[in-house]
Amino acid sequence: MSIKMDNVGQSFPKPDEEGMVCIVDSIDLEINEPSINMLLGPSGCGKSTILKMMGGVRPFGVACPTAGEIFINGEACHGPHNDVVMVFQKYANRPDLSIWDNVAFPLTLSLWKKRIPPQEREERVREMLEAVGLADKAALRPSQLSGGQNQRVALARALVLRPKIILMDEPFGALDAQTREEMQHLLIELQEKHNCIIVFVTHDVEEALLLGDRVIVLSTKPATIAENFEINEPKPRSSIWLGSTYANQQREKILSVLHASTSKDFQ
Amino acid sequence: MWNPYLPLSKSTKRISTFGSLAFVLFLWSLLSGLNIIGPDKLPSPWDVGKAFATLTWSETDQQKTVERSLKEVTIEIEKDAILPAEQCNQVCVPLYDNPAIQSIEECEIDWKDEQYPEGILWCSTKIVEGQSLLWEATYWSVSRVFLATLATLLIGLPMGILMGASTRINALLSPIVDPLRSTPVVAILPILVIWLGIGEVMKIAFLVLGAIVFLIPMVRDALQAVPQTYWISARDLGATEWESVQKAVLPMAMPRIADAIIASVSIMWTYITVAEYVNAEKGLGQLIQNAKRFSAMDQVFVGIIVIVALALVTYQLMVKLKQSLYPWESEL
């Protein structure tokens, strides 16, 4: 399994005038090993756009990407890939379906219906609900769950397809600190169990340090890769680890790169 | 403190509802009781009540005669003889074929009829016939609204869904559909009469036209109001384009589509009188038209009240149905 971005760029037409504005510029990125990869950058820098390009979801009405090529498992990819699944900050859980049906939703699509026999579909849903700790809530609706539980549902729905690559767009951004920590641990656990590549967008340096095997710091306007940090520390990492000298050093380095790239924007 | 979000208790709500209705009734009684507004302009509530009762059930006496050639009835009688009263009943009662008739008022045999030289039996009696004009009119109007609703949904729902799901189809059809929303539908009635005649087809087509110009844009807007995340998410999980509409966007849009349907049916009730303006033999609109012609203001009021009541009942039923079908909407 691998995901590779080869000199990828994205420009949008300016809303009121002629010409294009470049949002993402010449991104070169290659991920070959199961790992958690944090895309870290200031709000509005184009992180989500990069993620949408990887997911092959193009809701913009313009060509995407406008430059370069994205390869999934070595093959150039121009649409939603079956091995790639996205998780959104706002969960995208269906309010009209029960938790069970929400998780089972992808399996009702003709693409997966053909490939997965009914009995296995049911087993997968049950297994995923247990993995995220919501087996007893299967009959409830999303409105009856908390924000953290809803994000668990979204995770279960993504994992029920057993994807090789999961793209997460600030999935824990709306959660309180305690729930976020729980979810981070759950994510690490699930990633190790399913052995998949996770690309995780965040603007939170501490979250990046706690979760990432690799932290990719983005500069802004246009978004380019400013620096790549490898963090080879055992997981899960605690808040005490965050106070360690090593973590502090990494944090300082990341922040200085972020500051350099944003101050460029002000000049 | 005044709080516009505070829900009212059930009893407060009930008291308010009946209170305001009672106030209107009181004011109405006062105005017509003290003759402030004359009965030619505002019939009193009791007159309207009486008219309601008459329209609901009225009985009329009718003289009904039956004639039969003696060839067709078996009767033992000599030529030129007079029919005794007992035999008269025996022979005539079965001819009416009506269980309410047990005896006959008059009967005789005419032996000198030119057409029937063998003799003709002639029976005559009064029959009390009851009829409910209101029930008949309601039945016809409800049937028309029901058929028009079916047709509107059959045409309007697919069109609205297609327009909401595809910006191309929307761009193609909205220049036709959107201006129709502000077209005076009533002014189109004469055109419909020319095209479709004065029969039932014209009336139902008029109701459909009046409602569908609102239904289609509302259904389209319902689909477009669904957050894009659901569409993106479905596509990302492997849904085809049609599947992402059918399995993700459409179910999410259903409560608003249901609202659109409820609104269209309400609109139809306001148009029913206009639809029945031309050549209606039966219907609530025709009942009002007829009463107006004879200056029977009380009957006009009955017609209006019945239409409003029917519209309210259908509205409440549909809202209840919607709430039970989509309970999750109020939880959003």
CA angle, residues A39, A42, A44, in degrees to nearest 5: 100
> Nearest residue of A to residue B241 by CA position?
A109
Using CA coordinates, name the residue in chain A closest to B254: A96
Q: Which residues of B touch A59 (CB under 8 A)?
A: 228, 231-232
- Cβ separation of A106 and B231 shorter than 8 Å? no
B238 CB within 8 Å of a chain A CB: yes
User: Alpha-carbon distance B319 to B322, whole Å?
Assistant: 5
Q: Is the pLDDT score of B149 beyond 90?
A: yes
Report CB contact under 8 Å: A95, B332.
Answer: yes
Rounded to whole angstroms, the Cα distance separating A50 from A64 reads 10
Confidence check: pLDDT of A33 > 80: yes
Interchain contact B231–A (C-beta under 8 A): yes
Report CB contact under 8 Å: A96, B331.
no
Distance from CA of B5 to the nearest CA of A (A): 20
Q: Which residues of A touch B (CB under 8 A)?
A: 52, 55-57, 59, 80, 82, 84-86, 88, 90, 92, 94-97, 105-106, 108-112, 141, 143-144, 157, 161
Dihedral, CA atoms, A62, A66, A69, A71, nearest 10 degrees?
Answer: -30
Residue A25: the pLDDT is 82
β-pairing, A3-13 with A67-72? antiparallel
* CA-based nearest residue in chain B for residue A89: B229
Q: Which residues contact B57 (CB under 8 A, 6 or more apart)?
A: B130, B131, B132
Among A85-89, A92-96, B20-24, B95-99, which is the least confidently predicted range? B95-99
d(CA A114, CA A111) in angstroms, rounded, equals 6
Instruction: Chain B: give the shortest CA distance to residue A96, in Å.
Output: 6
Element (H, E) at A71: strand A67-72
Chain B CB contacts of A109 under 8 Å are 234, 237-240, 243, 247
Cβ neighbours of B296 (radius 10 Å): 18
Statement: residue B269 has pLDDT above 90: yes
Nearest-neighbour CA in chain A from B220: distance (Å): 19
Q: How far is B98 from B129, CA to CA, in rounded Å?
A: 11
pLDDT tens per residue, range A149-190: 888 898 889 888 888 889 998 888 877 888 888 888 888 888
- Quote the CA–CA distance of B225 and B252 in Å, as a whole number: 9
d(CA B204, CA B272): 9
Q: What is the pairing mode between strands A36-40 and A197-202?
A: parallel
- Tell which CATH classification among 1.25.60.10, 1.10.1060.10, 2.30.130.60, 1.10.3720.10 matches the domain B134-331: 1.10.3720.10
Residue A159: CB partners within 8 Å, gap ≥ 6? A85, A128, A131, A166, A190, A194
Q: How far apart are CA B221 and CA B257, in angstroms?
A: 9
Question: CA angle, corner B263, sides to B260 and B267, nearest 5?
Answer: 135
Give the angle subtended at the CA of A173 by the CAs of A172 and A177, to the nearest 5°: 75
Confidence of residue B94 (pLDDT cuts 50, 70, 90): confident
Interatomic CA distance for residues B156 and B286, integer angstroms: 28
Q: What residue of B is the nearest CA neighbor of A91?
A: B229
Select the more confidently predicted residue: B68 or B24.
B24
Residue B254 has pLDDT above 90, yes or no: yes
Given phi > 0 = left and psi -120 to 50 = alpha, else beta, which region is A104? alpha
Contacts of A80 in chain B (CB under 8 A): 235-238
List Cα–Cα distances, B57 to A179, B37, B52, B76, B98, in angstroms: 70, 29, 9, 43, 20
Top CATH class, A3-83+165-266: alpha beta
* Mean pLDDT confidence for A43-54: 82
Tell whether the model's pLDDT for residue A64 goes beyond 80.
no
- Beta carbons within 8 Å of A194's beta carbon, 6+ residues apart: A159, A162
Task: Please state, in angstroms and rounded to a whole number, the distance separating the CA atoms of residues A66 and A52.
Answer: 13
pLDDT grade, residue A264 (50/70/90)?
Answer: low
Q: Write out the residue limits of the CATH 3.40.50.300 domain(s) in chain A.
A: 3-83+165-266
Q: How far is CA B15 from CA A10, A96, B19, B28, B156, in A?
A: 63, 35, 6, 20, 40
A105-149: pLDDT as tens digits: 999 988 888 888 888 888 889 988 988 888 898 889 998 888 888
Helix, strand or coil, per DSSP, at residue B95:
helix
Which residues make up the CATH 1.10.3720.10 domain(s) of chain B?
134-331
**Which residue in B has a C-alpha nearest to residue A168's C-alpha?**
B233
Decide if pLDDT at B220 tops 80.
Answer: yes
Give residue B53's pLDDT.
Answer: 92
Distance CA B4, CA A214 (A): 52
| pTM recorded for the entire structure | 0.82
Q: In the beta sheet, which residues pair with residue A230?
A: A214
> How far apart (Å, rounded) are the C-alpha atoms in residues A139 and A101?
9
